[in-house]
Amino acid sequence: MLLIVAAVALALAIVYSIARSIASYQRLAHIPGPRWAAWTDFWLVRNQLSGKLNFKLHDINSRYGDLARIGPNWVVCGDPGEIRRIWAARSSYKRAYWYRGLRMDPYRDSTFSTLDDAVHNELRTKMLPGYGGKDVDGLHEAIDAQVAAFVKLLEDKYLAGNPAKSHLPYRTVDIARKVQFFTLDVISKLAFGDAFGCLAADADMFDYIKTTEHTLPIFVTVALLPWMIDLLQSPYMRPLVPNVRNMVGFGTVMGLAQQAVDGRYSEKPVVKRDMLGSFVKHGLSRDEAEGEAMVQIVAGSDTTATAIRATLLYIITNPQVYARLQREIDEGVRAGRISSPISDAEARRFPYLQAVIREGMRMWPPATGLLPKFSATDDIICGVRVPAGTSVAWAPWTVMHNKAVFGEDSYQFRPERWLDAPPEQLRVMEQTAMLGFAGGSRYECLGKNVAMIELNKIFVELLRRFDIVLVDPTQPWNSTNAAIFIQSDMNVRITRREEVVEA
Ligand code: HEM
């Protein structure tokens, strides 16, 4: 008897799950996409784990059109105008459950992971003055110090000789790694008050990079599976799930965040005019400040490192661009328009430099998470009805290579497009490229100002001093996509320039 009941229960469960799958299939059956993606999230999981999801989404949009189905409840949109509308500050779209998977602490939200608009707005309001540098002293100087440390590291350990003349040996350096030391030191200095010291030690301090490279692909994959998020974040699972706080790397940095924050909330609180000080002043609680300090490190290091690496790669593999940028820098130094190091304000006055930075971020957008939003009501996207509750992801490569916006040669690295475009086209190009920072949305990157200061300085300080060539142009780097990029082995040879132009 018991066996019959069990068999009937199993049969009912199977029928129920088949009926559910068919219903879920039919909901979005009118939206084209890969066949398996319509039935199971494992299509997305497999492609996320491939490390090439950014390119795959672009293939999908190229094949099926600007709106395609990539999961039972997922679509991907590659139309820049539609993404701007969906993300817009006043849009009724909200963050989809994917963001819950981005909790660094499984039991607590941050700006990055909260699904609650009111909480999100409140956190942003408290942090905007600090991120904007409004009540922060020495923001630019802190970045300058890390730029100097970066240059010193290269000069002390990695300068190669000109093969024809110099006594220096043949040397190469994996610049991808050193760039991340730089961005980590900048952001840790700003977030915690003390730089990790990666540049000084020429090492991945606390194994932070190593750990994130292992854990981030898992994080972003789990984020695709709502049931898995619930399971791993359930308080009942606490004894079974590894606690990030105890992990080498992540845990150590969380410990540092805690230490930095403790001092500000102790009985005799340390009061400083730095970013953390600004967050405290504007009412962030101790727990929030700790979580947000950690967010700064994760959100601000890999992304900016990728922007620097990719732009540098495009510069050194495009001789005309390289020559023109170096000429602009040299002329600026000669004319006394560039201090040492260049200031942010000065850098903004160099049109070709600005064009190169924009073009680099466009060609290789550093933040490529799905960033899904959903609408509580049915909507029409790219002329197609999208039922309420569907997760709408963006396809960064499709958006950033749109020919109507950027021109027929949108697959080429051509900074000149930013100088030649008529004003109306330039406006649309700017708005589209700034989607890389979620620009114009209520989720706009809080660290954009900091990232831009770093970008404005780093290329000038490298190219005014050094010549940089790829060791093996057939294998420029190893690059894996996991919402951000994990990049290494960008091996270059750095030589001192024959004639360093002095002011
Ligand atoms: C080139 C470098 C960077 C790029 C491309 C970038 C990109 C982005 C994007 C696309 C988002 C929106 C994510 C979403 O939909 O919720 C975002 C959010 C955020 N970014 Fe950045 N980011 C960069 C650098 C930084 C830096 C240096 C920091 C820290 C100083 C930072 C801190 C944040 C924070 C706190 C958020 C959450 C904002 C919110 O939820 O309201 N980012 N970033």
pLDDT (tens digit, 9 = 90+) per residue, 94-120? 999 999 999 888 788 999 999 999 999
Residues recorded for the chain = 503
Tokens 């700034």, residue located: 434
Ligand 1 site, residue 296, Cβ cutoff 6 A: yes
Residue nearest to atom 16 of ligand 1 (CA): 443
CA 17 / ligand 1 centre spacing (Å): 39
CA 500 / ligand 1 centre spacing (Å): 36
Ligand 1 site, residue 446, Cβ cutoff 6 A: yes
Ligand 1 site, residue 356, Cβ cutoff 6 A: no
Distance, in Å, from the CA atom of 120 to the CA atom of 322, rounded to the nearest integer, reads: 42
Distance, in Å, from the CA atom of 28 to the CA atom of 34, rounded to the nearest integer, reads: 12
CB-based burial, 262-285: b 16+ in 10 Å, e otherwise: eebeeeeeeebebbbbbbbeeebe
CA 299 / ligand 1 centre spacing (Å): 6
Tokens of 11: 């049969």
Q: Which residues of the chain have pLDDT under 50?
A: none
49 with 224: CB under 8 angstroms?
A: no
**Candidate of 303, 308, 357, 454 to mutate for ligand 1, largest count of ligand atoms within 8 Å of Cβ:** 303
Question: Which numbered atom of ligand 1 lies nearest the CA of 191?
Answer: 30
Ligand 1 site, residue 304, Cβ cutoff 6 A: yes
CA 286 / ligand 1 centre spacing (Å): 22
Distance, in Å, from the CA atom of 37 to the CA atom of 274, rounded to the nearest integer, reads: 47
Ligand 1 site, residue 133, Cβ cutoff 6 A: no
Average of per-residue pLDDT values in the chain: 93
- The upper half-sphere exposure of residue 232, i.e. CA atoms within 13 Å in the direction of its Cβ, equals 23
Ligand 1 site, residue 212, Cβ cutoff 6 A: no
Residue 181 CB-density burial (10 A; 0-12 exposed, 13-18 middle, 19+ buried): buried
Please report the domains of the chain, with CATH numbers, ordered by start residue. 28-496 (1.10.630.10)
pLDDT digits (tens, 9 = 90+) for 346-373: 999 999 999 999 999 999 999 999 999 9
